[in-house]
Structure formats: C-alpha cells, structure tokens
Structure 1
Amino acid sequence: MTDALAGIRVVDFTTTIAGPHCTRMMADLGADVIKIESPEGDLMRSRPPLRNGASALFAHLNAGKKSVVLDLKKPAASDAARRLAATADIVVENYRPGVTRRLGIDYGTLKALKPDLIYCAISGYGQDGPGADRPAYAPVVHAATGYDLAHLTYQQDKREKPDFNGIFVADFMAGAYAFGGIMAALAQKRATGVGQMVDLAMYDAMLGLLMSEFQRAQFPIELPSRPMYGPVKAKGGYIIIATASERTFGDLARAAGHPEWLEDPRFAKYSDRRENWGQFMDLFEGWSGTVPINELISILEKHSVPCSPYRTVKEALEDPQAKHRGIMEMVRDKGGLCGVPNPPFRLSASDTRARDFTAALGEHTQAVLRAVGLSDAEIAAVG
C-alpha cells in the first residue's frame, strides 16, 4: 500500500504540542519529516512518563520523524537550516511572530530560496495585529477565548472559580487545523505550481470550536436549568445519553417504558424539552436510578439510544471496537515500546499509521546535512 505523502519533505521547526501534532500526522502519511531541535532538544523529551530516560509524550508527538540538531543562534546553523529548507516542500514553525525573521528562516527568506514552498506558521494569536506578540500556551488560550468560562456555565453546582483543564485542547485543535491548511495549500500547489503561507492562530481555532457560545455571544438566549447532555443517574453511578432528535427522544421514552412522555406537552417538541429538561430528568432518573449501569446501557442500546458509561482512557483503549480500528500503534524508542494513537481517519488506498521509530536527539544530523551538501567541518559548526 502506498503512502499519501510519499516523496514530500517537511522541515519541522516546531516544539511542544501543536506543531509536532501537525507534523506527526504528515509523518503518519509517509512524509519525510525532519525535526530541527536545539542542542537541548524539544522540552517534551523531558516530560514524564519516562522509560529509561525516554519520554512517552515525546514519542506520542514525534514518532516517525528524523532529528537534526541545529543551534539556530549560530550563523552556520541558520545557514544550514536555509539550505535544508530549500530542499523541502513544506516548512512548519511555531515560534512567536518575529522570531523566525531574526533567525533568518522566515517565509520571505525561504520563499526566495524555494518559490513554491508551503510555509505554515502556528502561533497563539496570528502573525500580525495588535495582539500578535502575546505569548501563548494552550491553557492561556482556553481562558482568553472564553472556553474555560463557557465550560463553567454548564456545571450544575454553579462554581465561581474556573476549573483546571489538563487537556490541551487548543494545541490539538491548532495542530489539526494546521494540517488541514497545509493539505489545502498542497492541493492548490499541485494544481497551480504556486506555494503559499499558512497562518494558523490557536485563538482562532478555539473560537471556531465554540459553536453554541459563538452564536450566543451575538444572539443571547437563556440556558436550560439543567444541561441536556449531562450525567444521568443510574444505580451505582452515572451514564451519558444524547437525544438530539425527535426520533431518539421517542426511543428513550420507549426504552424507559413511558411512551406517554411523548404526549406530555412539556416534552412533545425539542423547544418544550429544552425549557423543561430538568423536570423530564427528574422523571427519567426515577426509573434510570433503579437500574444498574450495565443493564441500563444494554436497554438503551437495544432501543438505539446514544449512550455510554463514563470510562477511563485505559478502559476506552480496551474496547473491542478500539482494537478493531487499530487505534493504538506500538512505536520504539530507547525506552522500548510505547503505544501512540494512529490518525483518526483511514484511507482505503494508502497507509495511515504511526511509524515505528522515535529518533534520539540529533540522530540524523550528519546524514541529513551531508545529503544537502554540508562538509564535516560545516556540520561540526551547527550544534
């Protein structure tokens, strides 16, 4: 089976999460991804869990990439980076705006060397504008875009202090959108021969995620007294259900043995249910709270009601469907083997999977730089 991005070279100047997530997807599709690292290495190399000094998080984000060490503050290293970028189809970076210009690896400089280059710049707030220079990590962007306070409004205990969110949503959204932007630019290049710059802002990515909140900011409406997609009581715990359509609500009422709910004017239409959802859940939990979780799930699934127990990630990975899909791929580094996620999409005519190696810091420096014409003396001056 062929690789969708076979023959595509990517020079990757990114660190931490958003950029590496983007470029790992390209490696998963067979691109030749060359990760440029400082002599200290990407800081994710030191993040736990560690096995024999190797970070599983680094493997998660960087499997399948080559590693080249360049100290870009040195003129010789900056020159080597430009020579390498001149051989690339795609360059990706996630420096703060202005840094690449100081390093001599900005879009204008590299485009002069490779006119059809696709260059993706990932930043917190975009490459220009009054807020472009603000430093940003995912938790900051979560707060800045309203994501954290939006999450708070859905909590039933009416907390005043925003919750800590250890899941870096903005990073992974930005990485996925950057991948999409690059693929669009690559398709246009194949049609026209013209390269271009992709300017990806984490801020924009997060605001795009907030569909309902984005619209309510323009057209305020009152939220229901109880969220329509919240925990539902079962005997011994909680489950989640989602009844987004008239049909699924009918299935839910029949599963509970109460078809008369369909005729109740409080619940007959979506607009009625939304307004009276708290009353409906009081009735529903009068039944569901007496049924053990596994039995409740079985009843609901037999009636085609979308539902799930609340599970840990470990439990989710053990699901037979996860194993059937091949969600986890084992990759190798100096710590041994660790599982990383494959891309969430499958292509029928090409391979889509994490590649089975995670490079040691600088493992490919000499081979890659020799291949673009650097001498041993020049290579010795770049690290």
Structure 2
Amino acid sequence: MPPPLLEGIRVIDLGRYIAAPFVGQLLADLGADVVRVERTTAEPDRLRGPYLDGRSLYFVALNHSKRSVAFDVFSAEGRAVLDELIDHADILIENFSPAVAANLGLTRERLRARNPRLIALGITAYGPDGPDAERVGFDGLAQARTGAMASNGVQGDPYVNHLPYVDFSTALFGAFGLMAALYERERTGEGQFIDASLFETAGAMIAAYGMIAEAALTPAARAHQGNTLAFALGDRVRSRDGDFILFNIIGNMFTRLCVMVERPEWVDDPRFVDDPARFAHRDELFAHVASWAAARTTAEVLRAAQEHQLPFERVGSVRDLATDAHAAARGMFPRVAQPGIGAVPVARLGLTMSGHPHEAPRPAPTIGEHTSEVLAQWLGWDAVRVAGLPQSRGAR
C-alpha cells in the first residue's frame, strides 16, 4: 500500500469551530500530521453539541485523526513555544480576527522571517482588511449579507440554511489553496499566505451561479421561490404515503416527464416549448405532477422516475441517511473508536483516489494528549522542558 498522500507534511491547526478545523480535518484525512494547538482548558468548540453521554460528537466529527498540544498560547512563554513549532511546520491554519492574529505574532512579515517555506492560511468572517475586517461573523451572517438567505424561503420570510455550507465551502477553498501552494513550493522553495473568508466564499458561490450578473445587469428582482427550481420545472410533491419527493426537470427531460405523467400532448404545446416557458407556466404543470404523485406510493413514484431516467428523490431525514444502504455500500461514514463514547460515525473524505485508499480514522485527541510526543518529535524537547510549559489562565 502506498504511503498517505500528505505523509510528512506538518500542520499547526489553531482553528476553532467549523471552517478552519475542517481544513485540518481534510489534511489529516490525506495523511498529514495535523497538530491542534490549544489551551489547557477546554476551548468552546470542545463543548458544543450534539452530545453523547455529555461528550461532544461535534468535536469528534471535526477533529478526529489529529494530535493535540496544549499550553497557554496567549502568554509570552506560550507564544515563544508556538514560534518554535512554526519554525518546523509546513502549514499553519488559523481563524483568529486580524487583531488577535497580530497580537500572537501571526503577521505575514514575521512568519516569513521565521519560516520562509511556511504556507499560512487565515480564515476570517470578512477578510483581513477592508472596513469590516474586524467584524465578528459566522456562517449564517455570511448567508444573510450576501443574499443567500434572502434567496431561500418565500417572499417576506427568508430562511437561513442550518447546514453551515458557507463554513464547509470556505474550508474547501482553503484546502484547495493549500494544495496549490504546496505544489508551487516544490518549484520555488517558498511558502505563501492564503486568506479566505466566509463573506467572500458565499459571494463567490452567488456570483458563480450567475446571480450577481443578474442583479447588476437586469432590472427585475428575482422572486422568492420556496422549493421551486429557478428557470425550469422543479418543486416538491407528496406521495400517497405522505412522503415529500423533490424533482428537477430541465431540457429534454421534459419529454420523458410528459410520457411518465401521461400527458404526451404537452410535448408539442407552445406554452411549454423550453425551460423559461415551462417556468412561466409552472403552476399548471406542477398541479398535474402533484396530482399524479399523490395517487401513487413513494416506491411507485421513484420506480417510475427511474424507468424514465428522471431525477426524483424522496425527502429523507438525517436519521435516514445514517442507515442508508447506498451510503453504507460507499463507506461514507466510517466509525472511529472514540474513548469514552464508543464507535462514532464520521465523515469520510468526500472523494476517492485510485492510488491512495482511504485512511482509517483515528480518535479525536483529548486536551494536550500528544504534547510530550509532538514537542519531542518536532522540537527535540525532553520531559523536564515539557513540564515547564505555561498553563492557561482562563478563556480570552
């Protein structure tokens, strides 16, 4: 079996909550030595739910397969230890505000002087500069400011998406940047600095979907659509069983839909000639599709859709996904043997590489579990010196 893809890459993970820790998680899944540097008292993300027997499943999900080093990073002595770790690291990940990062000495000039090969990723809410650089922000606020939240729900009642996709997408952008920077370092021998923000990630997705161009160049505001597919035919219907079923019909799928719902005359109806026309007349089309689905069981609807190669899917729950047969066949949720909890299903890396089988996940670390081990391996410290590490004096 080949060695892990990122074996030998040393990563300092100063991230908390979701976006930055998930970057570290992705790198750990690829075999990097990811070391979470934290205080000796529990950081807030160790205390977040959901819980099992009083222990955070959230923390395990985002921090398994990492190691932990604990000391008071905010003390002068702790900053000196962090500097030594930085001297021996390939990658640094942090999501402090620009002011806090500067107080810790994590400026570009200082990091470059200490370790010219270091690749540093800073994740913030709004970016490291500009008028809103120091504003506090989370995933939902990025959705709110960029129009993503206003694009959900119905008119007058915008919905925030509680799956924090902005956090996770920011992490993917960050990891993508780190991989590109590692590749360039092979050519130049030099590291670089990457900044990613929740605001810019959400804005990039809005723009990539054409919505910024639409807002800037067309006069009409897009209406709130609920579950309706934009500019085509799609919505949720209900089966005879009471299940919700989502469908999306675009392009020449419409001909097959007409056959399935027993309305072949729609194919030549000028009102339904293309996707924009079908969108304009969606109420009439939807009413018939809804009536057709309501007369059938969920299994019958999905079987007919599969026979006609049409995208219909039952609206399931997360509990359904946890026991989904296809997810199990794909190995999507390997279990990690987490001390004090038991076998915890976690996310597998969302891609499969032919040359590198998935690594089995290791437990999330306890606070400072690997302090002696990491400081000996990275810095050559002995037990006496480790014992003198500064302890945290409370939250900051």
Correspondence for 1:124: 125
Query: How large is the RMSD of aligned CA atoms in angstroms?
Result: 1.9
CA distance in 2, matches of 1:222, 1:125: 26
CA distance in 2, matches of 1:127, 1:77: 24
Matches within 5 A, 1:1-383: 1=1, 2-152=3-153, 155=154, 158=155, 160-210=156-206, 211-220=209-218, 221=220, 223=222, 227-228=228-229, 229-235=234-240, 236-246=242-252, 248-334=253-339, 335-353=341-359, 355-371=361-377, 372-379=379-386, 380-383=388-391
- Alpha-carbon distance, 1:313 to partner: 1.3
Deviation readout 1:63-99 (Å, 9 max, x if unpaired): 0000011212211111111101111111010000121
CA distance in 2, matches of 1:225, 1:290: 29
After TM superposition, where is structure 1 displaced by more than 6 Å over at least 4 residues in a row?
Answer: none
- Name the SS of the counterpart of 1:6 in structure 2: coil
Correspondence for 2:394: none
CA distance in 1, matches of 2:130, 2:337: 43
CA distance in 2, matches of 1:241, 1:162: 22
Counterpart contact for 1:343–1:353, Cα < 8 Å = no
Change (3 A) 1:208 1:339: same
- Name the SS of the counterpart of 1:230 in structure 2: strand
Change (3 A) 1:6 1:252: same
- Name the SS of the counterpart of 1:338 in structure 2: strand
CA distance in 1, matches of 2:84, 2:59: 27
CA distance in 2, matches of 1:39, 1:70: 6
- Alpha-carbon distance, 1:259 to partner: 1.8
CA distance in 2, matches of 1:55, 1:114: 35
Counterpart contact for 1:68–1:364, Cα < 8 Å = yes
TM-score calculated relative to the size of structure 2: 0.90
TM-score calculated relative to the size of structure 1: 0.93
Change (3 A) 1:40 1:243: same
- Alpha-carbon distance, 1:103 to partner: 1.2
Name whichever of 209-218 and 335-344 sits farther off: 209-218
Counterpart contact for 1:150–1:213, Cα < 8 Å = no
- Name the SS of the counterpart of 1:34 in structure 2: strand
CA distance in 2, matches of 1:79, 1:251: 67
CA distance in 1, matches of 2:193, 2:222: 41
Change (3 A) 1:56 1:314: same
Change (3 A) 1:282 1:222: farther
Counterpart contact for 1:185–1:195, Cα < 8 Å = yes
Name whichever of 338-347 and 318-327 sits farther off: 318-327
AA of the residue aligned to 1:58: F
Give me the identity figure in percent: 28
CA distance in 1, matches of 2:223, 2:147: 20
Where structure 1 has 5 or more consecutive residues not aligned to the other structure, the ranges are: none
- Alpha-carbon distance, 1:182 to partner: 0.8
CA distance in 2, matches of 1:80, 1:198: 23
CA distance in 1, matches of 2:31, 2:192: 22
CA distance in 2, matches of 1:36, 1:351: 28
CA distance in 2, matches of 1:258, 1:343: 43
AA of the residue aligned to 1:311: G
Where structure 2 has 5 or more consecutive residues not aligned to the other structure, the ranges are: 392-396
Counterpart contact for 1:145–1:206, Cα < 8 Å = yes
- Alpha-carbon distance, 1:362 to partner: 0.6
Change (3 A) 1:224 1:245: farther
CA distance in 1, matches of 2:210, 2:265: 31
Deviation readout 1:287-313 (Å, 9 max, x if unpaired): 222122221111011110011010011
